A and B are shown apart, each in its own frame.
Chain A
Amino acid sequence: MKTDLKKLMECYQQNLYAVAYNVCKNPEDAEDAVQDTFLQYYTGNYKFESEQHIRAWLIRVTINKAKNANRTFWRQNKVSLEEYMETLTFDTPESEHLFETVMEMPQKYRIVIHLFYYEDYSIKEIADILHISESNVKIRLSRGRTMLKEILKEEWDDDK
């Protein structure tokens, strides 16, 4: 199956942007990564088994493109996390604190945290998307949660 690009963009652009920003921490690079991903979907001759397959593919490609953006070392118009956060409107100070704490974590932890808590992916699904082992995902998730708990304290519950 292959879904119409416009429908896909309406469905996934915000989620993919959140994933991309989570990886590269720069709004323009994140947007470029998502646009490039949609263009690759449009121009490529891909066959997908299901809507979930498309979603996982889009997320994986977006992550790779955002990582590539990180490798480009003389990017222009780089916006710092602090500058970008000033443009965002958070519902509560706790939300802002959580956002900032996640974005200060090392990339390998925060992407696993993001896929688990934002995209609702299981450990196995995250392992498939990131091409790492399930045990590696568990370790990163556990360490990520520990970091969050240490900084956020009572703002973050103990995960069972």
Chain B
Amino acid sequence: MTNKEKYKNAFSVLHTSDDFIMEVEKMKNSYKKRKRNIVAAAAAAVAMCVVVGGSTSAYACNVGNIQRHVQIWLKGDQTDAIMNISSDGSVAEYEIIYQDEEGVEHTINGGGVAMEGVSGEERPLTEEEIMTYLNEPDVRYEEDGSVWIYCKDKKMEITDKFDEEGVCRVQVQGEDITYYITAYYKEGWNMSNDKFID
């Protein structure tokens, strides 16, 4: 028996599961349905743009303020916090106040707008949209040079996963969504729900 025959004989034991073709058919049908829904929803398309930064400037003419007790994920730990949301009618600013294990108070600030419809009219992010954003994966560059990805209660060190150009691409599986994260060593990162963005 030749090496090729031996190899083929050994690997011929690998078989897909019985419902393999049925699963693909289901995926096909789901794709068709999704495509139809996208066409139907096109007229009312909503695009969201989140802008996050360390800005702490207050809006001069707030038209809405909300305070909530929330739980957010910080470095893999669920943490009680107070979230203040203020809005001037076009931009939402949020402030997250929480205490660490030693009782030291910390504040995270950010803000965002959503652009709606074909005209791109801006509106403030809702409370729910901000919470969704806050619970998405996060990449942290630590002082000791290590790099970590956090997604709710999960975390993983990716320090050794950067290539020669200092780029690391990681796919993170959320509860019902996949995140494609491209991290640039100590130079930030970006994330998409359908592909790696370079």
Does B associate with A?
yes
Q: Which residues does A use to contact B, with CB under 8 Å?
A: 5-6, 9, 13-14, 17-18, 21-22, 31, 34-35, 38-39, 42-43, 68-69, 71-75, 88-92, 94-96, 98-99, 102, 113-114, 117-118, 120, 155-157, 159
B31 at interface, CB cutoff 8 A: yes
**A136 CB to closest chain B CB, in angstroms?**
16
| Contact B173–A72 (Cβ < 8 Å) | yes
Q: In the complex, A73→B178 CA distance in Å? A: 12
Which of B3-11, B66-74, B118-126, B128-136 interfaces with chain A?
Answer: B3-11
By beta carbon, the residue of chain A nearest B21 is A9
Given A39-B27, A156-B3, A96:B14 Cβ within 8 A: no
Q: Kindly list chain A residues whose C-beta atoms are within 8 Å of the C-beta of B9.
A: 91-92, 95
Question: Which of B85-93, B101-109, B164-172 lines the interface with chain A?
Answer: B164-172
Please state if B31 and A9 are interface contacts (CB–CB under 8 Å): no
Q: List 24 A-B contacts (CB under 8 A).
A: A5-B24, A13-B20, A14-B16, A18-B11, A22-B11, A35-B20, A72-B178, A74-B151, A74-B156, A74-B172, A74-B173, A90-B10, A90-B13, A94-B6, A95-B6, A98-B6, A99-B10, A99-B11, A99-B13, A117-B4, A117-B8, A118-B8, A156-B3, A157-B2
Are A68 and B171 touching (Cβ within 8 A)? yes
B17-45 CB contacts (< 8 Å) to partner A:
17, 20-21, 23-24, 27-28, 31
- What 8 pairs across the A-B complex have the smallest Cβ distances? A117-B7, A95-B10, A98-B10, A88-B13, A99-B10, A72-B171, A18-B14, A17-B16
Contact A73:B170 (CB < 8 A) given known A31-B16, A39-B27: yes
Contact residues in A for B173 (Cβ distance below 8 Å)? 72, 74-75
B-chain residues with CB within 8 Å of residue A73 when the two chains form the complex: 156, 170, 172
Which residues of B have CB within 8 Å of A159?
Answer: 3
Q: How far is the CB of A96 from chain B (nearest CB, A)?
A: 7
New A-B contacts (15) at CB < 8 Å, excluding given A13-B21, A98-B7: A14-B14, A38-B24, A42-B28, A43-B31, A71-B169, A74-B151, A74-B154, A88-B14, A91-B9, A92-B9, A95-B13, A99-B10, A118-B8, A156-B6, A159-B3
Roughly how many angstroms separate A136 CA and B38 CA in the complex, as a whole number? 45
B9 to chain A, nearest CB (A): 5
User: Which residues of chain A come closer than 8 Å to B3, judged between CB atoms?
Assistant: 117, 156-157, 159
- The distance in angstroms between the C-alpha atoms of A21 and B3, with both chains bound, is 20
Of residues 139 through 198 on chain B, the ones whose CB sits less than 8 Å from some CB of chain A are 151, 154, 156, 161, 169-173, 178
The interface residues of chain A lying within 8 Å CB-to-CB of B172 are: 72-74
Q: Given A9-B21, A39-B27, A94-B6, is A118 in contact with B11 using a C-beta cutoff of 8 Å? A: yes
Q: Are A34 and B16 in contact (CB under 8 A)?
A: yes
Residues of B within 8 A of A18 (CB): 11, 14
Q: For the complex, give the distance between the alpha carbons of A157 and B6 in Å.
A: 10
Across-interface contacts of A95 in B (CB, < 8 A): 6, 9-10, 13
CB B27 to nearest CB in A, in angstroms, measures 5
How long is the Cα–Cα vector from A159 to B3 in the complex, in angstroms?
8
